[in-house]
A and B are shown apart, each in its own frame.
Chain A
Amino acid sequence: MGEIELLKGKAKEIRKNIIKMLGEAGSGHPGGSLSAADIVTVLYYHELRLDPGRPDWPDRDRFVLSKGHAAPVLYAALAGRGFFPEAELMTLRKLDSRLQGHPDMRKVPGVEMSTGSLGQGLSAANGMALAGRLDKRNYRVYALLGDGELDEGMVWEAAMASAHYKLDNLTAFVDHNGLQIDGPITEVMSPEPVSDKWRAFGWHVLDIDGHDIKQIIDALDEAKTVKGKPTMIVAKTVKGKGVSFMENQVGWHGVAPKPGEVEKALAELDAD
């Protein structure tokens, strides 16, 4: 089996774990976790230089999940890579669990930044990239933003700074699934044209299909060749991807599947 097939298998496992842990939690955000699943899979199973046994290894690559409500996709990837036991996923959002509703770097090994309040992750990623440059370490920094999150003004403060400081050790994604809580992004508060905005802010911009593993890998490879600029990969995605009744449904932004829906979703993912 080639690497791409392997990664597709991993993405499926991650999606199944997202559904299971949200079903168990009874609350949380399936739509944006599923839309980001392929990107996060490629990052954790192909791209990031990590050592799960040493989460504080100074030369590790860093990933900041700026859209922190997609915590389930990050937790599933971290558990899959062995940062903590997979059984712990079922404690999501429960009292005294390390797996808070939004990622807490003080609780979960492998979480690089506490996020959840939208718009703040890219700034933190900039700080990590600046520190890497100061310390002459060759780690890379990755960030994943939501497209609804682009409404936050702070994102654009950070966008300006990444380019100003020529952070070519930084690669970011926009999970461009087109929906935010109150409806389609173009109706609520349009960030379009997304790619042109990042380009105008001085970024190297790539447009890809965020569910095409090969395109994700190729974009990450290209980003590493870009000098003097950060790279933004605008990934067109489908909110709820992989579960037919969740796909492109605004209602599945922040509602957990009920037991029957969990079964149906898992059956669909298995059949795929």
Chain B
Amino acid sequence: MSKKIATREAYGEALQQLGRENPDVVALDADLAKSTKTFDFGKIFPERFFDMGVAEQNMLGTAAGLATAGKIPFCSSFAVFASGRAFEQVRNSVAYSALNVKIGASHAGITVGEDGGSHQSVEDIALMRVLPNMTVFVPADAVETAGAVRAAAAINGPVYIRLGRAGVPVLHGADFQFAPGKAVVLREGLDATIIATGIMVAAALEAADYLAVKGIKAGVLDIHTIKPLDIEAITKVARETGALVTAEEHSIIGGLGGAVAEALAENCPVPMKRVGIMDKFGVSGTPDELLEKYGLTPGSIAKAVEEVVTKKR
């Protein structure tokens, strides 16, 4: 497999490129610029970079004010703080007025690793997708991240981009076109479909390979946009393959699994299982150890597919 790149790295580079193209793009950080990778934007465009210190609420409120004056602010912090600490600022100062504020939230999920549960956001997708006017992107690799950043800048309204700390495989070629709100069929299925988001897309592909050896033909649908959700694509694979497994580095409550279950129940109910974090907080450990501990592996996904296939009518 090719070299791994963390989506936060790709975010930092995409932001610099955007800064070169659009003078209205500004970046704000909350004393984590070296980790969220906005630091280099600040070096290139010092007058357009605002370190707000360890004050996420003020960062989001300031971004709202900048947006009212035509700026396109990208706010960055760890996902747990950007979505959680500043939730009510995102709600009332940003989303309520549909202001043009972008949130690049890094270190999402348990692959933060050793910092432990206090820093591992397992609920941010749920928090952000419930807000009216909000778009939620969860890119799976560096290519999708670059596309998501560009798409975010083109959308006139609030956008949340969920990014990871750890390196992930590059899944797409350079010619990949990121289309907001459009699921990507990475593999056609027959017996079941794995619907995955973020770093679990690569794991879903591995699971599909493993299942193929056992004679189960599982499709893989990559959901890089949680909101607006591509209900049409989800309904289509539900109808065609008759069983679904969702996979996400997030609580099984309220994230991708929740969103897909809502869409299925109304449109095309089929047997489904959610692979994700089972209503628990994380702990310290290496990213790989944690993925194993919490069952976010190709093996867990494959097992879920095998189970769900037996429930098909």
Contacts and interface: CB of A to CB of B under 8 A. Distances in A.
A154 B57 contact: yes
B65 A114 contact: no
A130 B62 contact: yes
Given A114-B96, A161-B52, A128 B58 contact: no
A231 B310 CA distance: 70
Interface stretch (B66-74, B113-121, B173-181, B213-221): B66-74
A113 interface: yes
Contact of B53 (A62, A122, A130, A160): A160
A60 B74 CA distance: 25
A127 B66 contact: yes
A124 B63 CA distance: 7
Interface in A65-120: 104-106, 112-114, 116-117, 120
Contact of B70 (A126, A131, A154, A157): A131
Given A105-B97, A112-B68, A113-B65, A134 B92 contact: no
Chain B CB count within 10 A is highest, among A116, A123, A164, for A123
A135 interface: yes
B68 A127 contact: yes
Contacts of B47: 134
Q: Which label, helix, strand, loop or mixed, suits the secondary structure of the A interface?
A: helix
B50 A165 contact: yes
Contact of A154 (B48, B64, B66, B89): B89
- Chain B: interface residue count, which band? 20 to 34
A124 B57 CA distance: 11
Contacts of B55: 154, 157, 160-161
Given A113-B68, A135-B69, A124 B61 contact: yes
A191 interface: no
B26 interface: yes
B92 A126 contact: no
A58 B24 CA distance: 14
B145 interface: no
Given A106-B98, A157-B57, A161-B62, A132 B69 contact: yes
B232 interface: no
A165 B71 CA distance: 17
A128 B57 contact: no
Given A104-B97, A120-B89, A131 B61 contact: no
A80 to B, nearest CB: 23
B90 to A, nearest CB: 11
A40 interface: no
Given A106-B97, A114-B93, A134 B71 contact: yes
A36 interface: no
B65 A130 contact: yes
A158 interface: yes
A120 B63 CA distance: 11
Nearest to B54: A157
A135 B23 CA distance: 10
Given A154-B57, A160-B53, A124 B92 contact: no
Given A104-B97, A161-B55, A124 B64 contact: yes
Contact of A131 (B71, B88, B97): B71
A109 to B, nearest CB: 14
A125 interface: yes
B26 A134 contact: yes
B88 A126 contact: no
A129 B68 CA distance: 11
Nearest to B70: A131
B61 A154 contact: yes
Interface string B157-174: 000000000000000000
A81 to B, nearest CB: 19
B77 to A, nearest CB: 13
Nearest to B86: A154
A127 B92 contact: no
Interface in A145-167: 153-154, 157-158, 160-161, 164-165
Interface in B126-166: none
A114 B62 contact: no
B163 to A, nearest CB: 23
Contacts of B53: 157, 160-161, 164
A154 B93 CA distance: 12
Interface string B23-34: 000100000000
Interface in B80-126: 88-89, 92-93, 96-98
A125 B65 CA distance: 6
B93 A158 contact: no
A128 B65 contact: yes
9 contacts: A62-B68, A120-B57, A124-B68, A125-B65, A126-B61, A127-B66, A132-B69, A154-B58, A157-B53
Interface of B: 26, 47-48, 50, 52-53, 55, 57-58, 60-71, 73, 88-89, 92-93, 96-98
Given A112-B68, A123-B62, A123-B89, 4 more contacts: A126-B58, A131-B68, A134-B71, A161-B55
The 8 closest A-B pairs by CB, nearest first: A127-B65, A123-B61, A131-B69, A157-B58, A124-B65, A157-B55, A127-B66, A117-B92
